[in-house]
Amino acid sequence: MSQQRIEVTLAGQKITLATSNEHEPLLRAACTLADEQIQLAINGGNRSIERASMMAAIKIAGDLITLQAASINHSASATSSHVDSEEISKLQEEIRSLEDQVDSLMQTLSLPGSPRPIVP
C-alpha cells in the first residue's frame, strides 16, 4: 500500500495528510464532514476554532453512537424475529407429533377387561 499526501481544508486552514490511494476518498469525505460541522459550530457562536472543533467532534461522535445503537437494535430485532419464527416452527411440529400420538393412543385404548380397541 503506497502512501501519498493530500491537502484538505479544515476551518479555513490547509492541512496536509498522509493516506493510501485506497483510503483517500473516505479521508476526503471525513474531512469535508468535519469541516462542515466546524463551520456550523463557528456560525453558531463558537469564536475559537479549537472550541468549534471540539463541538464538531462531539456532534459527529454522537451521530456515530446513534447509528451504532440503531444498527445493534436492528440486528438484535432481526435475530430475535428469526429465532422466534424458527422456534414457532419447531413447536408447531412438536404439537403435530403429539396430536398424532394422542390419536394413535385413542384408537388403541381399550376399556378395562376388554382387549378390543375403541374406534372413533
Q: Which long-range contacts (CB under 8 A, 24 or more apart) does 107-114 make?
A: none
Q: In this predicted model, what pLDDT tens digit does every residue of 26-52 receive, in sequence order?
A: 999 999 999 999 999 999 998 899 999
Average pLDDT in the chain: 81
Question: Is the pLDDT at 57 greater than 80, yes or no?
Answer: yes
29 membership: H or E segment, kind and range: helix 24-43
Q: Which long-range contacts (CB under 8 A, 24 or more apart) does 17-22 make?
A: none
Indicate the pLDDT class of residue 120, thresholds 50, 70 and 90: very low
DSSP, res 21: T
The residues pairing with 13 across neighbouring beta strands, listed in sequence order, are 10
pLDDT of residue 52: 92
Q: In this predicted model, what pLDDT tens digit does every residue of 106-118 receive, in sequence order?
A: 555 544 554 555 4
Grid cell listed for 62: 454522537
Provide the whole-model pTM.
0.58
Instruction: Give percent of the chain with pLDDT exceeding 70.
Output: 76
Cα end-to-end span (Å), the chain: 79
Domain spans of the chain? 3-108
